[in-house]
């Protein structure tokens, strides 16, 4: 067994989920390439006195379900999955997708139905009522997305995922403190000038407890406060389709204009429900080992020098009251290689071209986190 896998399993069980004796933990795994990690997690859960449960899933099978699913069928599926989820104390979700585009040719309406009536309901129960962590697994599909060899991607993956999260967590405290007392945020960059408020909404540090890899501090815009426009400069895979050059224009918090490489598709996503056209999260990416997009949100939203603004559902810990079946993390990188940009808090410049420029936040620049 690769020692790196053992180290990752230890982080997931003892740090991220902190599983105690007698606690029930559900391991959910998409794809077979991550089975070595699943086996190590089972061993580790037993070692700490927990009780492991496993759910193995395959996108090709799920695709066949989605193609002809009905609302009645999804309600029955929800009842079954919710009963199991409510019995769990912890959840570890491993995504080792063989083909991220497996759902790409399915009708958007069917995918939206499956999301709205099944997967988002179960996901909300997991997020709100278990100790949870989700992660990807380095396989051929991910290496292809990253345009690298599998060996090189594995080295990158384990560097990113096994960073010293306790050190990162301490460094984040200064940013949390500043965000907690901030009202107006302004994001500027190429084809981007957006203003919104985060007043009286909690700022939360994410340092390995819920996502692996991790490295962000997040809050949420006041629901009706966003004014202006933003152009995201990273590709985003959603429902099996890769969106590029996403542009949103906001008025009173609502997305009133949207375009991308397939504007019709993106408008259908935003029309899924009322909350899909409002923002549910604003976050600042801080992981020093992630410097470019690989078309996977768990990695891309943590890019050092990035922000993400998320249409859809907010988190309970940083709630702005927005409810939706989607939570779509879209990323803007502001380092010089990607066009640069600025973040202002209450009129004061705090980050320029991806680097923090005020003294209390310099601890979050990459050289201080590695």
Which residue segments constitute the domains of the chain, with CATH numbers given? 3-161 (3.40.1830.10), 165-368 (no CATH)
State how far the Cα of 158 lies from the Cα of 151, in Å rounded to an integer.
11
Please give the angle made by the CA atoms of 299, 300 and 302, to the nearest 5 degrees.
Answer: 70
Please compute Rg for the chain using Cα positions.
20
* Rounded CA separation 51/360 (Å): 43
> Mean pLDDT for the chain?
95
Neighbours of 1 (CB within 10 A): 11
Cα separation of 183 and 199, whole Å? 4
Angle in degrees, CA 295, 296, 300, rounded to 5: 85
Q: Tell me, what's the pLDDT at 74? A: 97
Structure tokens at 73: 């069928």
Using the structure block, give the residue that is written with the tokens 């278990």. Answer: 130
Q: Alpha-carbon distance 158 to 154, whole Å?
A: 6
The HSE-up count of residue 246 (CA atoms within 13 Å, CB side) is 27
Burial track 10-31 (b if 16+ CB lie within 10 A, e otherwise): bbbbeebbebeeebbbbbbbbb
CA 92 centroid distance within chain: 14
Question: Can you spell out the DSSP letters for 187-200?
Answer: EEETTEEEEEE-TT
For the chain, 370 residues long, give each residue's pLDDT as a single digit of tens.
Answer: 589 999 999 999 999 999 999 999 999 999 999 999 999 999 999 999 999 999 999 999 999 999 999 999 999 999 999 999 999 999 999 999 999 889 989 998 999 999 999 999 999 999 889 999 999 999 999 898 888 999 999 999 998 888 888 899 999 999 999 999 999 999 999 999 999 999 999 999 999 888 899 999 999 999 999 999 999 999 998 988 999 999 999 999 999 999 999 999 999 999 999 999 999 999 999 999 999 999 888 899 999 999 999 999 999 999 999 999 999 999 999 999 999 999 999 999 999 999 999 999 999 999 999 8
Cα 179 vs. chain centroid, distance in angstroms?
20
| C-alpha to C-alpha distance for 194 and 249, rounded to whole angstroms | 9
155: helix, coil or strand? helix
């Amino acid at each position: 067994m690769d020692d790196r896998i053992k180290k990752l399993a230890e982080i997931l069980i003892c740090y991220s989920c902190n599983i105690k004796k007698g606690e029930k933990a559900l391991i959910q795994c998409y794809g077979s390439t991550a089975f070595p990690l699943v086996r190590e997690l089972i061993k580790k859960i037993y070692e700490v006195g927990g009780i492991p449960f496993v759910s193995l899933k395959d996108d090709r099978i799920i695709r066949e379900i989605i193609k002809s699913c009905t609302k009645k069928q999804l309600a029955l599926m929800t009842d079954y999955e919710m009963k199991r989820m409510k019995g769990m104390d912890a959840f570890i979700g491993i995504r080792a997708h063989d083909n991220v585009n497996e759902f790409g040719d399915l009708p958007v309406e069917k995918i939206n139905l499956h999301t709205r009536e099944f997967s988002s309901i179960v996901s909300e129960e997991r997020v709100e009522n278990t100790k949870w962590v989700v992660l990807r697994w380095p396989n051929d599909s991910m290496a292809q997305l990253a345009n690298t060899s599998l060996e090189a991607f594995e080295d990158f993956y384990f560097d990113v995922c096994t960073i010293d999260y306790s050190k990162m967590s301490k460094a984040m405290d200064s940013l949390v403190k500043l965000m907690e007392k901030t009202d107006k945020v302004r994001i500027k960059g190429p084809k981007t000038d957006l203003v919104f408020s985060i007043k009286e909404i909690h700022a939360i540090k994410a340092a390995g407890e819920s996502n692996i890899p991790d490295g962000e501090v997040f809050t949420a815009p006041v629901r009706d406060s966003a004014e202006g426009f933003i152009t995201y400069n990273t590709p985003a895979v959603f429902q099996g389709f890769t969106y590029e050059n996403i542009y949103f224009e906001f008025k009173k918090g609502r997305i009133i204009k949207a375009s991308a490489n397939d504007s019709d598709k993106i408008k259908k996503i935003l029309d899924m429900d009322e909350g899909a056209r409002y923002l549910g999260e604003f976050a600042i990416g801080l992981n020093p080992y992630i410097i470019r997009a690989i078309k996977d949100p768990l990695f891309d939203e943590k890019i050092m020098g990035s922000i993400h603004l998320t249409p859809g559902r907010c988190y309970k810990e940083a709630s702005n009251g927005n409810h939706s079946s989607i939570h779509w993390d879209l990323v803007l990188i502001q380092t010089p290689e990607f066009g640069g940009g600025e973040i202002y808090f209450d009129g004061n410049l705090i980050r320029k071209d991806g680097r923090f420029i005020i003294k209390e936040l310099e601890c979050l620049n990459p050289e201080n986190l590695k």
